[in-house]
Structure 1
Amino acid sequence: MNSVGLAPHRIAGLLAPAVDRVFRAGMLAGRDGGGAVLAQKYGGMAATGFLVDLRTRLAAPGGSVDGPGFAAITRYQDPVSCRRALDKQVAYGMLHRGADGTLSASERGAAFLSELYQVHADVTEELWAGHDERVTRMVTALGRLLSYALVLADEEADHPGSAFTAMAPPYEPDGTPSGVLLLNRLGTLRYHRADAHAAAWAAAGHTAASVAALPAGPERTAIELETDRRAAGLYAALGAEERLTLLADLAALPG
């Protein structure tokens, strides 16, 4: 086994597209498997959009996302458009927004999120049927990664504007099915890499807009490599063989 290829910075780069693929497959299945109908029940995407994005924090009793955290989560979106969308969701009675910009779910919003968790339970059970052992193994590995990432974040003096710390840990009430655990832990892991990517392009003198327009080439490659380096720390929580197993398990999941 080539342990060099499993170094933390290497596995960070290899896992990113695999994590994206599986997460997006789960979310797409949720939308097509009842999520869109559920959203219409509560007023459509205009009423529920950010609740879906922030579900793993706002579903928690007392869960909230502060202003800097929300800005980090939506760093590639137009701030004016985000504010208008939030205005609508507050007006629909789905979200509460504090004077300082902190967001939380209303009672109606919490009811929507409870039903959304059930939709995701149903669709992931079907999507990943026959992969129970693999899903359970990944849930365990991802739990260790996220726990270690939180420890690393807590060791920093300050981490304002972090999407990961805004969204971690994901809300996992007792009895949450393995498919939902996997989906939401993958989603939270993506925020960890998103922060690493933002730090990498900011260090290279870019903004969210300029890096989005950056063409393929040496500069983009350098930013991606720096992203891998910055995202690598949490993978010390897994041994080299465990990292390879996680990559193989993700590759084997349909979607």
Structure 2
Amino acid sequence: MSDSVGLAAHRYVALVAPVLDRVVRAAIQAGQDGGGAELSQRYGGMPATSFLVEMRTRLAAGGTVDGAGFAAITRYRDPIACQRALDRHVAYGMIHRRPDGGLTATERGSAFLAELYQVHAEVTEELWAGHDDRVQRSTETAGRLLTAALSPRGDEPVPSPGAFDAVAPPYEPDGTPSGVLLLNRLGTLRYHRADAHTDAWAAAGHTPASIAELTDGSQWRAIELETDRRAAGPYTALTAEERLTFLADLAALPG
């Protein structure tokens, strides 16, 4: 296979994005059903933990998500409601808000995230049992894609700084199981395309509210095409055969 038969990077993005989304959503839901909900309740429930889960790949490493990064991650939600929800995380002692607006996990928040990583290890091992080769290949490929996204070539379109920069690279301590590596690498890659999508609809004159209402039609298709073009850079690091294998492996994972 070659790029000339429909696997050009920008066309491939349109194929792999929904498959990637499905795999991440399935693993996150499995985490909720497999102990994540109970874990959250022990630390105060969703009002105390939801943003920690979203920003786990940065906060679990002791890192900081700045105000702009938080705004990008929550761009489709009401900003006042998000700040109130964030206030609750602070009140529960899970997140520390610095004077400059940066967010870090407290000691209690870090303990929650350590347990969350363990829950994700257990549920992904069960969810993807019997697919060890696919998980390993996909994990390695996702790592290459992240490396390419973090160090783009000069001739590649690059999304504006946003959610991806807030959560990448994911926290991967020694001994992290492949299932957790895959979940977090794919989850981080989703933000790369999300930032490209924001650039595409902003260039077309939309706002978060107006783009949420645009679900079909020629303008919607044009924005999707532009999103894929802007998000394609990392996938140029793969050969056409590697793109096919990555897509097939993800599509075959249960969930």
TM-score (norm 1): 0.96
In the other structure, the counterpart of 2:223 is 223
Map of 1:79-90 to 2, 5 A cutoff?
A: 79-90=79-90
Q: Which amino acid aligns with 1:12?
A: V
Q: How far apart are residue 160 of structure 1 and its match?
A: 6.6
Distance 1:213 1:98, change over 3 A: same
* Distance (Å, rounded) in 2 between the aligned partners of 1:13 and 1:138: 18
- Once the two structures are superposed, residues 84-130 of structure 1 have per-residue CA deviations (whole angstroms, 9 ceiling, x without a partner) of 00000000000000111100000000000000000000000000000
Q: How far apart are residue 152 of structure 1 and its match?
A: 1.7
Matched, 1:98 2:119: no
Runs of 4+ in 1 over 3 A off after TM superposition: 153-156, 158-161
Q: 1:64–1:103: 8 Å Cα contact kept in structure 2?
A: yes
Distance 1:154 1:42, change over 3 A: farther
Q: 1:153–1:159: 8 Å Cα contact kept in structure 2?
A: no
Q: Which amino acid aligns with 1:141?
A: T
Map of 1:157-236 to 2, 5 A cutoff?
A: 161-236=161-236
In the other structure, the counterpart of 1:250 is 250
* Distance (Å, rounded) in 2 between the aligned partners of 1:21 and 1:107: 32
Distance 1:8 1:33, change over 3 A: same
* Distance (Å, rounded) in 2 between the aligned partners of 1:210 and 1:100: 30
In the other structure, the counterpart of 1:19 is 20
Q: 2:93–2:106: 8 Å Cα contact kept in structure 1?
A: yes
In the other structure, the counterpart of 1:10 is 11
Q: 1:95–1:105: 8 Å Cα contact kept in structure 2?
A: yes
In the other structure, the counterpart of 1:126 is 126
Q: Which amino acid aligns with 2:172?
A: E
Q: 2:201–2:207: 8 Å Cα contact kept in structure 1?
A: yes
Q: 2:197–2:227: 8 Å Cα contact kept in structure 1?
A: yes
* Distance (Å, rounded) in 1 between the aligned partners of 2:178 and 2:18: 21
Matched, 1:116 2:116: yes
* Distance (Å, rounded) in 1 between the aligned partners of 2:251 and 2:230: 23
Q: What secondary structure does 2:19 align onto?
A: helix
Q: 2:159–2:199: 8 Å Cα contact kept in structure 1?
A: no
TM-score (norm 2): 0.96
Q: 1:68–1:160: 8 Å Cα contact kept in structure 2?
A: no
Cα root mean square deviation, aligned: 1.7
* Distance (Å, rounded) in 2 between the aligned partners of 1:94 and 1:77: 21
Q: How far apart are residue 6 of structure 1 and its match?
A: 1.0
In the other structure, the counterpart of 2:35 is 34
- Once the two structures are superposed, residues 67-87 of structure 1 have per-residue CA deviations (whole angstroms, 9 ceiling, x without a partner) of 101111110011001000000
Q: What secondary structure does 1:100 align onto?
A: coil
In the other structure, the counterpart of 2:145 is 145
Q: Which runs of 5+ in 1 are unaligned?
A: none
Q: How far apart are residue 215 of structure 1 and its match?
A: 3.4
Distance 1:161 1:173, change over 3 A: same
Q: 2:24–2:186: 8 Å Cα contact kept in structure 1?
A: yes
Identity %: 71
* Distance (Å, rounded) in 2 between the aligned partners of 1:79 and 1:204: 22
Q: Which amino acid aligns with 2:66?
A: D
* Distance (Å, rounded) in 1 between the aligned partners of 2:2 and 2:237: 19
- Once the two structures are superposed, residues 12-64 of structure 1 have per-residue CA deviations (whole angstroms, 9 ceiling, x without a partner) of 1100000000000000000000000000000110111100100111000x311
In the other structure, the counterpart of 1:59 is 60
* Distance (Å, rounded) in 2 between the aligned partners of 1:139 and 1:149: 15
